[in-house]
Amino acid sequence: MRNASDVVRDMNRAGAAGRPFLFGFDFELTHAFFIPDPLRQTEVRFNLRGVSNASDDGSEVPYTFERTPEPEAIYAHRFDIVRAGLLRGDSFLTNLTVRTPIRTDLAPEAIYRRARALYKMYYPGAFVCFSPERFVRIDADGTIASNPMKGTIDARLPRARERILSDPKETAEHNTIVDLIRNDLSMVADGVHVRRFRYIDRLETSAGPILQVSSEIVGRLATDWRSHVGDVIARLLPAGSVSGAPKDATVRLIRQAEQTPRGFYTGVFGLFDGHTLDSAVFIRFIDLTTDPFTYQSGGGITARSRMHDEYEEVIQKVYLPF
């Protein structure tokens, strides 16, 4: 791993030269990685919407998967810290995350190969991630798009689609993130607008199907965007959907409530192919540096949030996507 500012410079140089690279930043913007010509190496495995350097595994061999969530009382203490900040007006929306120890008889590489996800990565000794959430995509003409996800529900519940779209808390949370991402993109792009608002994707997981709500915000970068692509990405970090609003004050509140750095969880990773860039948020994430491994998950907290409901949601998000 390297210093984030060095990786930004490497991205700018490679972008200007039209050379492909793979990159990643942690949430705290202290550590990052940069891999030139990523399709020519196989140590770090990745698949971004079908662009991959490794084959998948359709195996359906049985496996074990156990999770040990932190006690609800500990989560309640974190929740109370966030809620106090919300009531003071420090934040309108805060993404609160937790670590859940897990045990499985699957090796990390096997998890990566079996995972069904739009974006996934396996960094040996560090993490395995299978993310459904795009961070930003930049097309060759400089069109930049972000697709923040906010709102999750068990797809098996009666009228699940109607319930998630009509829930006042979920609606308020989603609106806040859309406004934040629109403002973030406006720092680097012109003509920023919402192209799709609150559309639904269905995800199949080891714990059953879930529905996730997203929106799409787009804008237009300067014609020379490749020569400063690292600066563009860094300016947008940390990702609004996994921090909150207003961003700076909310990140301070997150540090107070969570106590430990998130590391690469809720950071971002992406691929520049020489012409376009696609990237994702590091969610649905297993930290391989701990014993046992820890699965990191979280959810947005607003003044309308109910502690027990939020606790149940972060546990629901601890799953393998196959």
Domain boundaries, the chain: 2-49+68-316
Question: 3-state class of 181 per DSSP?
Answer: helix
Per residue of the chain (322 residues), give pLDDT as tens: 999 999 999 999 999 999 999 999 999 999 999 999 999 999 999 999 999 998 887 778 899 999 999 999 999 999 999 999 999 999 999 999 999 999 999 999 999 999 999 999 999 999 999 999 999 999 999 999 999 888 888 999 999 999 999 998 888 888 988 999 999 999 999 999 999 999 998 987 777 888 989 999 999 999 999 999 999 999 999 999 999 999 999 999 999 999 999 999 999 999 999 999 999 999 999 999 999 999 999 999 999 899 999 999 999 899 999 8
CA 298 to CA 25: how far, in whole Å?
18
CA 11 to CA 1: how far, in whole Å?
15
Going 103 to 105 to 106 to 108, the CA torsion angle's sign is positive
User: Residue 66 pairs with which residues in a beta bridge?
Assistant: 103
Going 240 to 246 to 247 to 253, the CA torsion angle's sign is negative
Furthest C-alpha separation in the chain? 53
* Residues contacting residue 192 through CB under 8 Å, at least 6 positions apart: 182, 185, 186, 217, 218, 219
CA 186 to CA 188: how far, in whole Å?
5
Question: 3-state class of 227 per DSSP?
Answer: helix
Residue 61's pLDDT is what?
A: 86
Domain 2-49+68-316 carries which CATH code? Answer: 3.60.120.10
Q: Which residues of 197-222 are buried (b: 16+ CB within 10 A; e: fewer)?
A: ebeeeebebebeebbbbbbbbbbbbe
CA 236 to CA 240: how far, in whole Å?
8
CA 100 to CA 111: how far, in whole Å?
17
